[in-house]
């Protein structure tokens, strides 16, 4: 019932990189990288630490202008950063309301914030500050903030990697549930193979530096997927093999 | 009679510190925010700020009296000179240590210009600014005693000076106790600022 309430006229969102290269000083991080992310797709980038995953997201969000190549993005892009990105001086409600800044009608905005709070199951914590929440709850606030309002594309940089294993499993389910309620185009970065296999429509395995896509894997099993589902196990096998592990 | 005199001195001193201190906070904090955000300005002004910070405010006494004569004004001036530079420097370096992630997020959500300053930069440094306010208030309270000894006809510092001239050490001790207790009391008040809900994060973990 949520999907489309905010954006009945949701335009088709899309991300594209074409022959993008970037380097920091002498270190070439991206080389001739091309990729397309289609509307409503969940693309997961997997790769070893330091191979350039965050850099790809930064290029997609426009924070980094690559030295060469073409970046095209259609739609409002929101990012969940690798570090804690909530403003510690704002309450849960106020942080979520940041995602609704373009909404001028305050009554409508208040209503939307409380809907989002219900959506991520944080009723009763509206007036708490981030430092009073657990890691998992903070990530729920981040999710609510990027889902708020008119966002089309979500870039997520290892959003759950700071959580303990069980919270991580729970947050994956949470993300899948939220995306079913509010459809978004997602690029999700992780080094967690399980996470990739459970979440992705398409997994891109990155290798080495400069980062190149060494394998592309489609997973068309419906979500949510159990860790023990055949599709998940098959996907994990292939990814592990590709990473040479 | 003596009690009336003491109350009068207390009010005079509190007024002078309050005016000088508020003036320096109102000018110093925005200056610090601005310098913190502009690296070139920071490099240009840092030596000047440091020079004045290390110049004892008491060194300004001759000019304070020359320019402002005797009364409240030289005290305002000395309090201002004593607290402005430490406040600017503390605010400025607090801005320089704001984690860049906050500015990244601010950019994602289109905070710009004055709004960025008011809604991101300022709240991000507020806990450190409150600490700086407490420290510089301490300086102000020390300086007011010296300032009133030479620049005023009343106030707690002047009271001690008079006691000295009349060799009334009992009266001097009485004034000293009032100065110490009032200083502590006002610091308690400033300490309450650290209990504001939107700055608690800065003092925890
Ligand atoms: N701002 C930067 N300046 C210099 N080198 C950087 C910068 N950002 C990233 N790098 C380098 O680029 C490489 C890829 O970084 P990153 O994209 O953060 O990797 P990942 O997210 O996959 O762990 C790393 O070797 C890192 O040291
Ligand atoms: Mg990274």
Residue A165 has pLDDT above 50, yes or no: yes
Cβ contacts of B94-97, under 8 Å, gap ≥ 24? B94/B32, B94/B36, B94/B125, B94/B128, B94/B129, B94/B132, B95/B32, B95/B33, B95/B35, B95/B36, B95/B37, B95/B121, B95/B124, B95/B125, B96/B36, B96/B42
What's residue A11's pLDDT?
A: 67
Residue A140 has pLDDT above 70, yes or no: yes
Res. A43 pLDDT band, cuts 50 70 90: very high
DSSP letter for each residue of A153-217: EEEEESTTTTS-HHHHHHHHHHHHHHHHHS--EEEEEES-HHHHHHH-SEEEEEETTTBEEEEEE
> Is A22 inside any structural domain?
no
User: How far B139 CA lies from chain A's nearest CA (Å)?
Assistant: 29
What's residue A9's pLDDT?
A: 47
Q: For the CA atoms of A118, A122, A126, A130, what is the dihedral angle to 10 degrees?
A: -140
What's residue B78's pLDDT?
A: 95
pLDDT under 50 in chain B at which residues? Answer: none
Nearest chain B residue to A127 by CA: give it. B197
Contacts of A79 in chain B (CB under 8 A): 104, 108
Nearest ligand 1 atom, CA A82: 21
Domain positions in chain B: 2-200
Residue A181 has pLDDT above 70, yes or no: yes
What's residue A244's pLDDT?
A: 84
For residue A136, the enclosing domain spans 84-151
Among residues A44, A78, A43, the alpha carbon closest in space to that of A62 is found at A78
CATH class assigned to B2-200: mainly alpha
Residue B75 tokens, joined: 């005290």
CB A14 within 8 A of CB A36: yes
Q: What is the mean pLDDT of residues A56-82?
A: 93
User: What's the mean per-residue pLDDT of chain A?
Assistant: 90
What's residue B1's pLDDT?
A: 54
Residue A178 tokens, joined: 């939220």
User: Chain A residues within 8 A (CB-CB) of chain B?
Assistant: 61, 63, 78-79, 81, 83-85, 87-90, 98-99, 101, 129-131
Q: What is the mean pLDDT of residues A199-227?
A: 90
What's residue A2's pLDDT?
A: 34
> Is A117 inside any structural domain?
yes
Strands A42-46 and A185-190: parallel
Residue A8 has pLDDT above 80, yes or no: no
Ligand nearest to the CA of A52: 1
For the entire predicted model, the pTM comes to 0.88
Give residues (CB < 6 A) around ligand 1.
A 24, 27, 29, 47, 49-55
User: How far A131 CA lies from chain B's nearest CA (Å)?
Assistant: 6
Residue A6 has pLDDT above 60, yes or no: no
What's residue B205's pLDDT?
A: 64
**A-B contacts (CB, under 8 Å):** 44
Number of domains in chain A: 1
Q: Which ranges in chain A belong to alpha helices (H)?
A: 53-61, 92-97, 106-119, 135-147, 165-181, 193-199, 230-243
Residue A217 has pLDDT above 80, yes or no: yes
> Is A241 inside any structural domain?
no
- pLDDT (tens digit per residue) in A112-135: 999 999 989 999 999 999 999 999
């Amino acid at each position: 019932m949520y999907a489309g309430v905010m954006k009945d006229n949701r335009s088709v969102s899309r991300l594209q990189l074409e022959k993008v290269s970037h380097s920091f000083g002498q270190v070439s991080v991206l080389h001739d990288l091309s990729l397309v992310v289609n509307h409503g797709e969940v693309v997961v980038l997997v790769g070893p630490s330091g191979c350039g995953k965050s850099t790809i997201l930064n290029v997609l969000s426009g924070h980094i202008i690559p030295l060469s190549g073409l970046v095209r993005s259609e739609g409002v892009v929101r990012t969940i950063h690798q570090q804690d990105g909530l403003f510690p001086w704002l309450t849960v409600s106020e942080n979520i309301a940041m995602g609704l800044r373009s909404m001028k009608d305050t009554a409508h905005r208040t209503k939307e914030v409380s809907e989002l709070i219900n959506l991520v199951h944080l009723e009763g914590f509206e007036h708490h500050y981030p430092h009073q929440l657990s890691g998992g709850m903070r990530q729920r606030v981040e999710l609510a903030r990027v889902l708020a309002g008119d966002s089309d594309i979500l870039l997520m940089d290892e959003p759950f990697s700071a959580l303990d294993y069980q919270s991580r499993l729970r947050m994956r389910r949470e993300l899948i549930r939220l995306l079913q309620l509010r459809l978004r185009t997602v690029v999700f970065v992780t080094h967690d193979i399980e996470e990739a296999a459970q979440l992705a429509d398409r997994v891109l395995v990155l290798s080495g530096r400069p980062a190149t896509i060494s394998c592309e894997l489609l997973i068309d099993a419906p979500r949510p997927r159990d860790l023990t589902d055949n599709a998940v196990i098959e996907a994990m096998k292939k990814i592990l093999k590709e990473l040479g592990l | 009679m003596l009690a009336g005199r003491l109350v009068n001195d207390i009010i005079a001193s509190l007024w002078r510190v309050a005016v000088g201190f508020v003036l320096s906070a109102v000018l110093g904090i925005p200056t610090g925010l601005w310098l913190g955000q502009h690296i070139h300005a920071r490099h240009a002004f840092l030596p000047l700020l440091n020079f004045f910070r290390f110049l004892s405010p008491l060194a300004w006494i001759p000019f304070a009296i020359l320019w402002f004569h005797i009364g409240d004004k030289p005290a305002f001036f000395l309090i201002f000179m004593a607290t402005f530079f430490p406040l600017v420097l503390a605010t400025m370096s607090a801005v320089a240590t704001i984690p860049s992630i906050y500015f990244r997020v601010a950019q994602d959500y289109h905070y710009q210009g004055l709004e960025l300053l008011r809604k991101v930069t300022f709240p991000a440094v507020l806990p450190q600014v409150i600490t700086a306010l407490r420290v510089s208030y301490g300086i102000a309270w020390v300086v007011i005693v010296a300032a009133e000894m030479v620049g005023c006809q009343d106030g707690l510092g002047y009271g001690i000076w008079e006691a000295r001239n009349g060799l009334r050490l009992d009266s001097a001790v009485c004034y000293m106790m009032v100065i110490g207790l009032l200083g502590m009391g006002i610091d308690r008040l400033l300490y309450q600022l650290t209990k504001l809900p939107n700055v608690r994060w800065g003092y925890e973990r």
